[in-house]
Amino acid sequence: MASETNQQNEESLQITQLLEAEKLALENSQYFEQILDTTISICLGTSQSHFRLQMQCLNMIHKFFYLRKIESVELRRKNSTKLIDLLDYFIIQTQDQLPNYLIIQKCIEILNSVYDLVFVEMIKTPNENQWLKISKIRDFIIDQWPTSYPLLKLNKETDLSRSIGCKNAIIKLIGKVIQTHLPSPSNDSEEEVDVSTSMISENHIFLNSQTLNTQAQSLLDSLLDYIAGDVLITTPVFSTIISTLMVLFKTRPKFFSSKFLSFMLGYESQLKRNPHFEEDKLKVRMIRRFNDRLDKCFISFLLNRGFISKDPNLRSRFENKFRYLVDKAAALKQRGILDDSLDEEEDEEIKRIKRRKLEIQKEQEDKGNSFFYNESEIARSNDYKSIYSLINPQNKLSEFDMSTISPDILSSMVIAALTNASTEKLVKGLNIVFNRYKHLSVAPGTQWKNGVQENQNNPQFQEQDGNVSIKVEKQEHSEESDDDYDPTNDSGTRSMVKQEYGGVKLEGQAHNGSDYDSNLMDQSTSQRSFPTPGTHEDDGEEELNNGAYILPMPKQLELSQKKEHLQLIINNFIDLSSKQNGTSAVSVTQQADLKKVAISNWDDDSWVLMLSRLATRGLNNEELSTVIRETLFDHFKTDLKGKIDGIIEWLNEEYYCSLIKKDEQNLDVYIHYCTLVLDNLIPFLEASDRKIFIRLLSELPYLTKDMIWKIRSLCADPARSKLGFQSLLYLIMFRPPVVQFCIGLLKDIYQDSGNNEGLQNECRNYLKKYAPEEQVA
Interface mask toward other proteins for 482-511; x: CB under 8 A: ------------------------------
* 336 belongs to the binding site for other proteins (CB under 8 A): yes
Crossing angle for the helix pair 690-699 and 668-681, nearest 10 degrees? Answer: 170
Candidates 193, 350, 360, 430; binder of other proteins (CB under 8 A) is: 193
Alpha-helical runs (H) found in 276-422: 281-304, 312-335, 341-344, 348-366, 384-388, 407-420
Contact between residue 488 and residue 450 where contact means Cβ atoms under 8 Å apart: no
* 282 belongs to the binding site for other proteins (CB under 8 A): yes
* 151 belongs to the binding site for other proteins (CB under 8 A): yes
* 161 belongs to the binding site for other proteins (CB under 8 A): yes
Instruction: Spell 235-259 as b/e; 16+ CB within 10 A means b.
Output: bebbbbbbebbeebbebbeebbeee
Residues 293-312 that bind other proteins (CB under 8 A): 293-294, 296-298, 300-301, 304-305
518 contact partners, CB below 8 Å, separation of at least 6: 474
Q: Which of 196/535 has CB closer to other proteins? A: 196
* 89 belongs to the binding site for other proteins (CB under 8 A): no
Q: Which of 151/729 has CB closer to other proteins? A: 151
* 156 belongs to the binding site for other proteins (CB under 8 A): no
Contact between residue 337 and residue 289 where contact means Cβ atoms under 8 Å apart: yes
* 176 belongs to the binding site for other proteins (CB under 8 A): yes
Stretch of residues binding other proteins (CB under 8 A), selected from 265-273, 292-300, 342-350, 620-628: 292-300
CA dist 531 → 313, 486, 488, 632, 738 (Å): 68, 10, 8, 52, 75
* 391 belongs to the binding site for other proteins (CB under 8 A): no
Residues 52-71 that bind other proteins (CB under 8 A): 52, 55, 66-68
C-alpha 35/C-alpha 21 separation (Å) is 7
161 contact partners, CB below 8 Å, separation of at least 6: 234, 237, 275, 278
C-alpha 776/C-alpha 31 separation (Å) is 127
* 100 belongs to the binding site for other proteins (CB under 8 A): yes
3-state helix, strand, coil in the chain (%, to 5): 65, 0, 35
Candidates 121, 191, 194, 762; binder of other proteins (CB under 8 A) is: 194
- CB of 634 vs other proteins, minimal distance in Å: 55
- CB of 500 vs other proteins, minimal distance in Å: 21
* 235 belongs to the binding site for other proteins (CB under 8 A): yes
- CB of 71 vs other proteins, minimal distance in Å: 10
* 315 belongs to the binding site for other proteins (CB under 8 A): no
- CB of 268 vs other proteins, minimal distance in Å: 18
CA dist 574 → 578, 598, 633 (Å): 7, 19, 12
Alpha-helical runs (H) found in 144-234: 164-181, 209-228
End-to-end CA distance of the chain: 121
Number of chain residues interacting with other proteins (CB under 8 A)? 74
* 527 belongs to the binding site for other proteins (CB under 8 A): no
Q: Strand, helix or coil at 60? A: helix
Candidates 290, 324, 372, 485; binder of other proteins (CB under 8 A) is: 290
* 398 belongs to the binding site for other proteins (CB under 8 A): no
Q: Which of 493/721 has CB closer to other proteins? A: 493
What is the CB neighbour count within 10 angstroms for residue 164? 15
* 99 belongs to the binding site for other proteins (CB under 8 A): yes
C-alpha 411/C-alpha 425 separation (Å) is 19
Stretch of residues binding other proteins (CB under 8 A), selected from 20-28, 449-457, 715-723, 752-760: 449-457
* 274 belongs to the binding site for other proteins (CB under 8 A): no
Stretch of residues binding other proteins (CB under 8 A), selected from 102-110, 421-429, 574-582, 638-646: 102-110
* 381 belongs to the binding site for other proteins (CB under 8 A): yes
CA dist 330 → 294, 298, 335, 450, 686 (Å): 15, 18, 9, 53, 79
